[in-house]
Structure 1
Amino acid sequence: MVDKKEKITSSYNNSCCFEPFISPNPITSFNPVQRYPKIDKTAFVSQFSSVIGDVTINNNVYVAPNVSIRADEGTPFYIGANTNIQDGVILHGLLNRRISVGSKRYSIFIGNQVSVAHGALVHGPCFIGDKVFVGFNAIVYNAIVGKGSFISYNAVVTNGVRIPPNRFIPPGANIDSQEKANALSRVPEDSREFAREVQRVNQEFPASYHLLFGENRCSCGISYD
């Protein structure tokens, strides 16, 4: 059993009903050991969001309201530094389907300075490299996305494809074969600048929200001990 003091590395307290729901995974036949989220104290998880199971959230990550990060089937998840997970995003993974990163295996691995925009679905097994932009309502499932790529709104990346670094997936595209992935053009400068601006804005949110709510306040503004 995990020591109670080590259960959740975060700045949250579950005494307020408007706080994020942060908990271990339930015990099941396929995940018989409870694992608790590890959330860096500089990260911010907004109200009404869920973080469940073996999830690592690194420094200065911003998780917006109404996000579901659910490592109760596929597991573990990793979210790198300065990444933002925007409103309505879902992270989930298939059982026993993982991607190798170094010496470890992950259901979902999201690198540093990634933006996952409103309403996107990231479903493991998948790897999203550093500085990737995942657009509004996009789907990434069973894929490897190279560093600096830009996935436009309503696009789908799936079927085991590997997106080379710095590639542009057009709006509504369905990239479901390696042939399609290899034919993608490089990210145009206007899209690259858009991704940089989204990063700039969202990297200010964790510290600003912590300041707004205070060290001993939950995300609804109610104080606790």
Structure 2
Amino acid sequence: MMLLKNPAGESPRISASAYVCESAAIIGNVIIGERVFIAPNASIRADEPGSMVIIGEGCNIQDNVVIHALAHTRVVIGDYTSLSHGCIVHGPITVGKNCFIGFNSVVFDCSIGDGCFVSHRVLIRGVNIASGKAVQDGEVVIRQTKADTLENVGVEHNDFASSVVRTNIMLAGSYRYRTLDS
């Protein structure tokens, strides 16, 4: 894995129980919590002045995810949240606990409450999404009036998001102790 200091000399801090794939890049003031799974080609950067990325316990950062914090901003990812394949999470942003951000979605300059389900190919920018809300495939949410009318998360979304978290926590533990010879 590529672990680099940022220009201010800040280094990533990664829990011993996390798994980070060798092809991932983690740069600067990044804190990665317990039992986090970081898949191939993920890029996590807090390299601009005053930036920070915090990834909570039990999260999974899947293949080709990009997380970046602008200067003097934070990216905060709550516990047990899934960032799925190819999504972009750009700070300033807070994503709550137990959330799911779908394939190729872009979330920027926003706040997403606990237990939200953001489906695939979604754009969210400049709004606050209340806890427990669902954003459907392909939706664009760039006006607060749209964010305020989102539907509640359904049981099927919660079940799916929980299963993704469980699977990736298992993978984090399994990959940490496995080599090609085992």
After TM superposition, the score normalised by the length of structure 1 is 0.78
**For residues 1-225 of structure 1, what are the structure 2 equivalents within 5 Å?**
20-25=1-6, 27=7, 33-73=8-48, 75-96=51-72, 98=73, 107-159=74-126, 161-213=127-179, 221=180
Q: Distance in 2 between matches of 1:61 and 1:118?
A: 15
SS at match of 2:178: helix
Percent identity at matched positions?
34
SS at match of 1:196: helix
* 1:52-105: CA deviation from partner (whole Å, max 9, x where unpaired): 000000100000010000111261110000000000000112222x3xxxxxxx
Task: Report the aligned-residue RMSD.
Answer: 1.2
Write out the 4+ residue segments of structure 1 that deviate beyond 6 Å after TM superposition: none
Q: Distance in 2 between matches of 1:177 and 1:73?
A: 28
Structure with max Cα Rg: 1
Shift of residue 207 of structure 1?
1.1
Counterpart residue identity of residue 156, structure 1: L
Stretches of structure 2 lacking an aligned partner (at least 5 in a row): none
Shift of residue 200 of structure 1?
1.2
Instruction: Report how many residues are paired.
Output: 180
Counterpart residue identity of residue 195, structure 1: A
Stretches of structure 1 lacking an aligned partner (at least 5 in a row): 1-19, 28-32, 99-106, 214-220
SS at match of 1:65: coil
Q: Distance in 2 between matches of 1:70 and 1:171?
A: 27
Counterpart residue identity of residue 94, structure 2: F
Q: Distance in 2 between matches of 1:164 and 1:77?
A: 22
After TM superposition, the score normalised by the length of structure 2 is 0.96
